[in-house]
Amino acid sequence: MNLLTRKLSLASLALAWVFSYAALAQSAPVQEPQPASTHKWALVLHGGAGVIARSSMSLEAEANYRAGLKEALTAAADVLDKGGSSLDAVESAIKLLEDNPLFNAGRGAVFAADGTNQLDAAIMDGETMRAGAVADVQRTRHPISLARAVMEQSPHVMLIGSGADDFAAHVHLEQVLPAFFFTERRWQELVRQLEKDGSPIPPRPTGAPAPPPKPIAALERPDTHKYGTVGVVALDRHGNIAAGTSTGGTTAKRWNRVGDSPIIGAGTYASNQSCAVSATGTGEYFIRLTVARTICALVQYKGMSLQDAVDEVVQKDLSAIHGDGGVVALTPDGQLAWSFNTPGMFRAKLKEGGTPQISLYREEP
């Protein structure tokens, strides 16, 4: 091939490429702008399970609990309605519940036997299956935000104790004095429990308000609300689900006991492949049964409906080992469920376009 023929054939190749590319570009389907989402948002939350009975709850206490649940539900709904993520919805609702002294999370958390508040929390993102958890936090105002920071700003899943608080300060999360979490009601619960056990009563925490001259009027009977952990599961318009849980654990706990709430797969779990779950109850049983992950495995591998899966694990498996408590759950296709084997569970749910449902007692829907 002489030089001229070679140049000609190269030129014709280049021309052919240009024409075929142009033809391809013309025949390519025009991209229609996609709607922002095809999913309707949804959310379910709990504020603890236990001996919650109409007969032992004053009308005022009942109204306060319903208002607290509604406030959290509304906050999460606002986030989702604006197209926000399920993670943001979970965190915003839990922050409110952590600040609400009625619930056993953040301010209002139960006391450990040594007179400290030891806070646990976890959050999980169903889209990426990233998770963050903290245990025995004592200085960070919002443990749920710290769990999220562990997930998003550290290479780890779980931090505990003073290291977790140090990390919180490092990522500029609000730090408070331990007395910030103090409530008289929880303190008196601790004192009663320790007296019952014949255990020494620790000194009131530094910075706690002076004891009232008379015991405070109980909101409800002492054992009415044994727990009070908070948890939220949410589905956003992008089809992503998330779960979060926050708690002070159990009254008079010792030896840095940690329950199920910050254990991924036990008290908290989320995966877009199956479901999102937040649990409440005596954590030891939930850890042994890996309650949250088991529920999602039933949905994922057995093709169970969400309601069947939560009932299977809570009503059958948990009850069989004498565990007590309940769960809230949802799936990416918008199934919502709860199940509990205690006389009551503070709970609420809402779907986009629907009306909020807030329930306390077993006999409520």
* 281 near ligand ASP (CB under 6 A): yes
Query: In what helix (H) or strand (E) does residue 358 lie, and over which residues does it extend?
Result: strand 357-361
**Residue with Cβ nearer ligand ASP (140 or 247):** 247
Is-catalytic flag, 245?
no
Q: How many residues bind ligand ASP (CB under 6 A)?
A: 16
Complete DSSP assignment for 23-53: HHHHHSPP-PPPPS-SPPPEEEEEEEEES--
Q: How do strand 344-351 and strand 230-235 relate by DSSP bridges?
A: unpaired
Provide the β-strand partners of residue 351: 42
**Residue with Cβ nearer ligand ASP (239 or 259):** 259
* 239 near ligand ASP (CB under 6 A): no
Q: Minimum distance between the CB of residue 231 and ligand ASP, rounded to whole angstroms?
A: 8
**What are the start-end ranges of the H helices in the chain?**
3-27, 59-81, 86-99, 143-153, 161-170, 184-197, 283-288, 291-302, 306-311, 319-320
Q: Could you tell me how far CA 239 lies from the centroid of its own chain?
A: 18
Give 302's Cβ-side CA count (13 Å radius).
13
Q: Minimum distance between the CB of residue 40 and ligand ASP, rounded to whole angstroms?
A: 29
Give 198's Cβ-side CA count (13 Å radius).
0
Q: Minimum distance between the CB of residue 342 and ligand ASP, rounded to whole angstroms?
A: 10
* 117 near ligand ASP (CB under 6 A): no
Give the type of residue at 40: K
Using the rule CB under 6 A, which residue among 259, 323, 332, 343 binds ligand ASP? 259
Measured CA to CA, the distance from residue 37 to residue 49 in angstroms comes to 34
Contact characters 48-77, ligand ASP, x per CB under 6 A:
x-----------------------------
Phi/psi region, residue 303 (left: phi>0; alpha: psi -120 to 50; beta: rest), is left
* 280 near ligand ASP (CB under 6 A): yes
* 343 near ligand ASP (CB under 6 A): no
Using the rule CB under 6 A, which residue among 86, 100, 193, 229 binds ligand ASP? 229
User: Among the options 183, 224, 229, 342, which is catalytic?
Assistant: 229
* 244 near ligand ASP (CB under 6 A): no
Using the rule CB under 6 A, which residue among 86, 118, 193, 261 binds ligand ASP? 261
**Residue with Cβ nearer ligand ASP (4 or 255):** 255
Measured CA to CA, the distance from residue 259 to residue 252 in angstroms comes to 13
Which residues contact ligand ASP by CB under 6 A?
48, 104, 227-229, 247, 249-250, 259-261, 267, 280-283
Catalytic positions are 229
